[in-house]
């Protein structure tokens, strides 16, 4: 007896991406179902709901640069589980990224942020941006922005990308700030802000000869926090030359494409703030700060009323951390569990028992928080300037051509609509409502769907 589609979906959304990719080769029906945008959205929604009950509600992808016999190479590691107890070496990642980058350039890649299972990669001092889905093994180098730093540019320039989702147009976007400084204290409007749309595979300028409301984006850990269509990051702004330094919270809204800044908490004009790290809790931005001369004392702040006239920072508490451990993320349901970093190594710290666990000795370097998904970043062939590298097995992704898939889905939808009785339709609608209630209707209202490619 064949299961109805809605029951099959309810079962399959519990499976990890790796299993679903295998199951695409079971039959044409399963292939079309798992590839459909509706199933991808349901699966991502379920992952978000399930992960919300865990301590940290995310996985970690870490990149470490290792030298062996004077030849550097990168190691990629995935940490998952309630307390990151599951460790997997991503051997395919260094080969995949190395397919369009040399070993040295792969070592220079840095994680920007993730959104719906897609990770944004960036090369320092370059406009080069790449999108990567580690779960589906899809890699998409983006075309270079039309106005990009060249050898004729001044010696000092800054390129900073941010990646997110436009909830209005249902499109993924990359915003990049290209800032050139003729002099160290230049205050002329000489920056360019461009936005890339995945749906059109093209860049467009939204600000030219623009004076950015910040000098630079800080390398806080994690660098960028993405919530509900907005990217948040730390930055600084200097006024009156190089004497006064102000720490800012920088945000970019991917729907309105507006840049906003606001002062960080515990503002001090004498630059005694040494560390800011951003996190999120219940859709609120969390800030972890430390004064330069208070080595192990940290303050935890929460931002209330963002975007309203009543927005303000509130200090939650002050606590003592472990020596030389920089806190970067608190657990959601156990406030005494902290994820910390020391010289690139990740540690899980218990503030009550003062116990500290090294997550992995080789887990050193850059890292990003993400949740796996089936969201596709594959576009039209030849749509980008550079080759789109796909490393999926043919048994997983090439069951049939995209054209056959579209014809099959269309025929199946028409057949179902013709044969479905009013009673069956009513039963199906009732079951779908029950499924949505089980998953969390409140989260679904704020869910960011995948981009249909």
Taking the C-alpha atoms of residue 384 and residue 407, their distance in angstroms, rounded to an integer, is 26
Q: Which structural domain range is residue 148 located in? A: 59-370
> Pseudo-torsion of CA 167, 51, 358, 299, nearest 10°?
60
Q: How far apart are CA 223 and CA 38, in angstroms?
A: 31
pLDDT in 10s for each residue of the chain, 453 residues: 567 777 888 888 888 898 899 888 888 888 888 888 888 988 888 887 766 556 666 677 766 655 544 455 677 788 887 777 787 877 777 677 766 555 445 656 788 888 999 999 887 667 788 898 988 888 888 888 876 554 444 445 567 789 999 989 999 999 988 776 555 555 555 778 899 999 999 999 888 777 777 777 765 556 688 888 999 988 877 765 555 577 888 899 999 999 998 888 876 555 556 566 787 777 788 888 776 666 677 888 889 888 888 888 988 888 777 777 777 777 766 656 777 776 667 788 777 777 778 776 565 667 788 888 999 887 533 333 333 333 333 333 444 444 454 455 445 444 544 555 666 566 556 545 554 554 444 334 334 444 444
Q: Exposed (0-12), middle (13-18) or buried (19+): which is 283, by Cβ within 10 Å?
A: exposed
Q: Is-cis flag, bond preceding 222, omega within 30?
A: yes
Query: Are 358 and 299 within one domain?
Result: yes
Residues 156 and 222 in one domain: yes
- Look at residue 450 and tell me if it is in a domain: no
Residues 145 and 226 in one domain: yes
Q: Do 309 and 333 fall into the same domain?
A: yes
Q: Is residue 389 part of a domain?
A: no
Residues 126 and 39 grouped into a single domain: no
Asked whether the beta carbons of 399 and 389 are under 8 A apart, the reply is: no
Q: Which residues contact 189 (CB under 8 A, 6 or more apart)?
A: 209, 210, 211
Split into its structural domains, the chain has a count of 2
Among 336, 354, 370, the domain boundary falls at 370
In a 10 Å sphere around its CB, with 0-12 CB exposed, 13-18 middle and 19+ buried, how is residue 334 labelled? middle
Do 26 and 65 fall into the same domain? no
Residue 329 CA to residue 300 CA, distance in Å, equals 11
Q: Is residue 170 part of a domain?
A: yes
Same domain, yes or no: 208 and 280: yes
Residue 215's alpha-carbon distances to 31, 42, 223, 237, 247, in angstroms, are 49, 41, 16, 5, 10
In this prediction the pTM is: 0.76
The CATH number of residue 127's host domain is: 2.120.10
Domain end position, chosen among 320, 354, 370:
370
For residue 387, being part of any structural domain is answered with no
């Amino acid at each position: 007896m064949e299961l109805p589609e809605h029951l099959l979906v309810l079962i399959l959304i519990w499976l990890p991406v790796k299993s679903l990719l295998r199951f695409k080769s079971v039959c044409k029906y399963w292939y079309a179902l798992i590839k459909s945008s509706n199933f991808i959205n349901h699966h991502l929604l379920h992952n978000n709901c399930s992960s919300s009950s865990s301590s940290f509600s995310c996985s970690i992808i870490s990149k470490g640069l290792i030298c062996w016999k004077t030849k550097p190479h990168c190691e990629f590691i995935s940490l998952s589980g309630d307390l990151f107890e599951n460790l997997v070496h991503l051997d395919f990642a260094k080969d995949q990224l190395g397919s369009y980058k040399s070993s040295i350039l792969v070592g220079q890649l840095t994680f920007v942020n993730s959104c719906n299972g897609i990770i944004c990669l960036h090369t320092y001092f370059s406009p080069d941006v790449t999108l990567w889905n580690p779960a589906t093994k899809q890699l998409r180098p983006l075309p270079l922005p039309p106005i990009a730093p060249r050898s004729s540019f001044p010696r000092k320039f800054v390129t900073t990308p941010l990646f997110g989702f436009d909830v209005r147009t249902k499109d993924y976007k990359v915003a990049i700030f290209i800032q050139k400084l003729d002099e160290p204290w230049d205050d002329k409007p000489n920056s360019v802000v461009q936005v890339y749309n995945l749906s059109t595979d093209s860049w467009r300028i939204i600000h030219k000869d623009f004076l950015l409301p910040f000098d630079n984006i800080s390398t806080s850990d994690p660098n960028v926090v993405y919530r509900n269509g907005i990217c948040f990051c730390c930055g600084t702004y200097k006024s009156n030359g190089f004497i006064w330094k102000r720490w800012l919270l920088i945000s970019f809204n991917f729907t309105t494409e507006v840049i906003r800044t606001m002062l960080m908490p515990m503002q001090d004009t004498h630059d005694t703030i040494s560390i800011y790290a951003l996190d999120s809790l219940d859709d609120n931005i969390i800030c972890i700060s430390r004064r330069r001369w208070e080595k192990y004392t940290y303050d935890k702040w929460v931002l209330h009323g963002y975007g309203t006239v009543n927005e303000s920072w509130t200090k939650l508490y002050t606590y003592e951390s472990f020596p030389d451990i920089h806190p970067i993320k608190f657990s959601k349901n156990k406030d005494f569990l902290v994820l910390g970093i020391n010289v690139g190594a990740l540690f899980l710290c218990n503030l009550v028992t003062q116990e500290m666990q090294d997550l992995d000795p080789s887990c050193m370097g850059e890292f990003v928080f993400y949740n796996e998904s089936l969201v596709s970043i594959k576009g039209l062939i030849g749509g980008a300037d550079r080759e789109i590298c796909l490393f999926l097995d043919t048994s997983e992704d090439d069951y049939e051509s995209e054209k056959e898939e579209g014809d099959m889905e269309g025929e199946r939808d028409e057949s179902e609509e013709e044969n479905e009785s009013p009673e069956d339709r009513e039963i199906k609608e009732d079951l779908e409502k029950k499924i949505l209630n089980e998953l969390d209707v409140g989260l679904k209202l704020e869910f960011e769907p995948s981009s249909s490619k």
